[in-house]
Amino acid sequence: MLRNFSDRRQNEWRQTVIKRGELRAIRIGRSVRIDRQLAEHKFAPREAAQRDAARKALDIVMQAGGRFVTEYHKMIPRIVPDKGPDAVRRLAGGAK
């Protein structure tokens, strides 16, 4: 039955089933699919909200860390090899 529906119609049906509280795995072909995010927010709203907030905080920290590294690399001095020993060698006649 569900196999004959378009992908859009299958998604609408799954969401309706989950919203009604009839959580079940929906077999489509050989794979088992559940609209996980919708089910998580339906059956464990507090935990899903906590996880979403933690992921958002982690994203902010990761972005800030990336900006810090970029700015740090702009500020550190560049190490340039000393050309003095090569110049002295050239003056002494041992230049290459």
Which parts of the chain have pLDDT scores under 70? Answer: 1-3, 21-35, 94-96
CA angle 78, 82, 85 (to 5 degrees): 170
Q: 57 lies in a domain?
A: yes
Quick: pLDDT tens for 81-90: 888 888 888 8
Q: 93 lies in a domain?
A: no
Number of domain units in the chain: 1
- Say what the pLDDT of residue 31 is: 45
Q: 52 lies in a domain?
A: yes
Q: 28 lies in a domain?
A: yes
User: How long, in residues, is the chain?
Assistant: 96
Q: Kindly give, in sequence order, each residue whose CB lies less than 8 Å from that of residue 80, ignoring residues fewer than 6 positions away.
A: none
β-strand partners of 27? 32
- Say what the pLDDT of residue 91 is: 83
Domain that holds residue 15: 2-75
Rounded Cα distance between 39 and 23, Å, is: 7
Q: Which two tokens stand for residue 34?
A: 């559940």
